[in-house]
Amino acid sequence: MAEDRNRLEPLDRSSIVMAWLWGLFILAGVALCVLLLWKVVSYREDSKFGRYLVPQNRYAPITPVRGDILDCRNRIMATSTLAYEVRLDCTVPEDSLWNNNVSRLAYRLATELGDRTFEEYEAILRRGRSNGNRYLLIGKDLTQLQINSIRKMPIFSSGRYHGGYLEERSQKRLYPYGSSARRTIGYVRDNVDSANSRMIGLEGNYNDYLHGKDGRQLMRRSDFGMIPVTDKGNTRAVSGVDVRTTIDVDIQNIADEALRKAIGRSELIEKSCVIVMETKTGAIRAMVNLGRDREGNIGEWDNYAVRTAEAPGSIFKGAVVMALLEDGYITSLEHEIPTYGGHWKYNGINYDDTKHVGKQRFPNGKVKLREAFEMSANNPFRQLICDTSHYGTNPARFIERIKGFGLIDTLDFDLKGCTPPFILEPSMKKRTAKGFWDGGTFPRLAIGYGMELSPLNLVTFYNAIANDGVMMRPYLVEAIQEEGREIESFKPEVLHRHICSKATADTLKKVMSMVTSDKGGTAYWQLHGAVCPIAGKTGTAQRVFRMSNGRYGYNDNGVESQQGSFVGFFPVDDPEYTAIVVIWSKPSASNFFGASYAAPPFREIADKIYCLNDD
DSSP 336-375: EEE-GGGEEEETTEEEE-HHHH-TTT-TTSEEEHHHHHHH
Q: What is the pLDDT of residue 198?
A: 67
Q: What is the pLDDT of residue 60?
A: 77
Higher per-residue confidence, 453 vs 595: 453
**Burial 343-368, CB ≥16 within 10 A → b, else e:** ebebeeeebebeebbbeeebeeeebb
**Mean local confidence (pLDDT), 252-276:** 95
144 lies in the same domain as 186? no
CATH at residue 524 = 3.40.710.10
CA nearest 522: which of 510, 534, 514? 514
- Is 48 part of a structural domain of the chain? no
The amino acid that residue 411 corresponds to is L
- Is 28 part of a structural domain of the chain? no
Q: What is the pLDDT of residue 82?
A: 85
- Is 23 part of a structural domain of the chain? no
The amino acid that residue 480 corresponds to is I
Q: What is the pLDDT of residue 294?
A: 86
- Least trusted range by pLDDT, from 169-178, 369-378, 419-428, 442-451: 169-178
Q: Check whether 8 has a pLDDT greater than 50.
A: no
Give the residue numbers spanning the domain of 260: 249-614
348 lies in the same domain as 253? yes
Q: What is the pLDDT of residue 51?
A: 52
Q: Check whether 10 has a pLDDT greater than 80.
A: no
Q: Check whether 262 has a pLDDT greater than 80.
A: yes
454 lies in the same domain as 372? yes
CATH at residue 209 = 3.90.1310.10
Residues 553-594: pLDDT tens digits? 888 888 888 999 999 999 999 999 999 999 999 998 888 877
- Least trusted range by pLDDT, from 35-39, 76-80, 337-341, 492-496: 35-39
141 lies in the same domain as 283? no
Q: Check whether 38 has a pLDDT greater than 50.
A: yes
Percent of the chain with pLDDT over 90: 70
304 lies in the same domain as 200? no
Q: Check whether 143 has a pLDDT greater than 70.
A: yes
Residues 301-350: pLDDT tens digits? 999 999 999 999 999 999 999 999 999 999 999 999 999 999 999 999 99
380 lies in the same domain as 426? yes
- Is 40 part of a structural domain of the chain? no
Q: What is the pLDDT of residue 199?
A: 76
Q: Check whether 354 has a pLDDT greater than 80.
A: yes
Radius of gyration of the chain (CA): 37
> How far is 110 from 533, CA to CA, in rounded Å?
58
Residue 522: band (very low, low, confident or very high) from pLDDT cuts 50, 70, 90? very high
- Is 260 part of a structural domain of the chain? yes
The total number of structural domains in the chain stands at: 3
463 lies in the same domain as 327? yes
- Least trusted range by pLDDT, from 48-57, 217-226, 268-277: 48-57
Contact 362, 301 (CB under 8 A): no
Query: 187, 210, 243 — which closes off a domain?
Result: 243
- Is 45 part of a structural domain of the chain? no
> How far is 298 from 314, CA to CA, in rounded Å?
28
Percent of the chain with pLDDT over 70: 91
555 lies in the same domain as 490? yes
Q: Helix (H, G, I), strand (E, B), or coil: what is residue 59?
A: strand
- Is 24 part of a structural domain of the chain? no
Q: Which residues pair with 563 in a beta bridge?
A: 541, 584
Question: Judging by beta carbons within 10 Å of its beta carbon (0-12, 13-18, 19+), is residue 19 exposed, middle or buried?
Answer: exposed
Q: What is the pLDDT of residue 1?
A: 46
- Least trusted range by pLDDT, from 1-5, 203-207, 438-442: 1-5
- Is 49 part of a structural domain of the chain? no
Pairing state between β 69-70 and 242-245: parallel
Q: What is the pLDDT of residue 100?
A: 95
235 lies in the same domain as 268? no
472 lies in the same domain as 519? yes
Q: What is the mean pLDDT of the chain?
A: 89
Q: Check whether 154 has a pLDDT greater than 70.
A: yes
Q: What is the pLDDT of residue 451?
A: 96
Query: 243, 269, 286 — which closes off a domain?
Result: 243
Query: 243, 272, 288 — which closes off a domain?
Result: 243
Residue 222: band (very low, low, confident or very high) from pLDDT cuts 50, 70, 90? low
521 lies in the same domain as 384? yes
Residue 184: band (very low, low, confident or very high) from pLDDT cuts 50, 70, 90? very high
> How far is 204 from 202, CA to CA, in rounded Å?
5
536 lies in the same domain as 466? yes
